[in-house]
Every structure is written in structure tokens, then in C-alpha cells.
Amino acid sequence: MANGNFIGGFALWVDETQRLHHTCSYLGVETYRQASAEPIPTGDVRVRMLFESDRPVLGSGGLVTLWSNDRQIGEGVMANTVPLAFSSYAGMDISRDNGLVVDRDYEDRAPYAFTGTVNEVIFDLKPVHPDAEKALHEHASVQAVGRGAAG
């Protein structure tokens, strides 16, 4: 699945050697990549990417882990995240990456369609502690005032 593109987006994809990859393009400035250390098995497999933020502020980095069924198969650090949203013109794709791709490693094979079957895609967002949510809103309001004062 892919959302956005190489100017800002993320993708969870499987390469030709059956390794699971996560790519996140941070505004086209940085690209963070994690790959599984081993191929995912064939057959009915549940893959998962878990991002655990370092701290509850917009744009914070954290640890990415990759999973096959219930076993961790890869990990890596993502130093930053996009603080608000990715491109509004490059939407989400399931089983392919249409348009401008997220990861240029498969750009020459775009739309890099997955040939297996995707039964479901789930985004599971953990609830945020009320103090962390308050900190996020305070951070956003301070940034908005700063942008307004800068013209």
C-alpha cells in the first residue's frame, strides 16, 4: 500500500525477493527505509508495520518495526515524521503505487502492482493520553501564531 509519493508519503511493499519494506519520504528531503532481514513466507501471511513515536509532538521520530505474522523481521529508526499531512493530490493505493511512486527503488516498475491477494488493510492508531493530546494542540497553536507573525 502507498500513500503520497517521493515528495512526501509512505509505502509498505514487498520486493521481488519477498522481503517486506517500509519507506517514508519526509517532504522529499529525507527518505527513511526499513527492510525485513528475511523473506516473508508464502501463503496466508499477515504483515504489519508498527511505528512507536519517541515523544507526543507533531513531526517526532521513532522506531519502526516490521512483522510477519507475529514475528518481528525488521526494524529501523525514522528520525522525523510529516507533521500534518501528505500531498492532497497523491492519494492512497492498495496493491500498487500509482502516479509518482513513494520509493524510487521501484520507480522503473511503476505502478509496481502486488501480484498476491490483499484481504484487508487496517490502520490501528493507539489512543493518545490526554496530556499528550493537549501538548500536541499547544504545539500546533504556537506554530500557527509563529507562521502568522512571520507573514
Quick check: 28 and 7 in contact, CB under 8 A? yes
Least confident of 50-64, 78-92, 123-137: 123-137
Q: How far is CA 15 from CA 22, 56, 103, 123, in A?
A: 11, 32, 12, 22
For the chain, what is the domain count?
Answer: 1
Q: Which residues of 139-150 are buried (b: 16+ CB within 10 A; e: fewer)?
A: eeeeeeeeeeee
Q: Which pLDDT score, from 0 to 100, does residue 29 have?
A: 87
pLDDT in tens, 20-42: 999 999 888 899 999 999 999 99
- Residue 148 binned pLDDT confidence (cut-offs 50, 70, 90): low
Q: Give the range of the structural domain holding residue 146, as residue numbers without chain letter.
A: 2-150
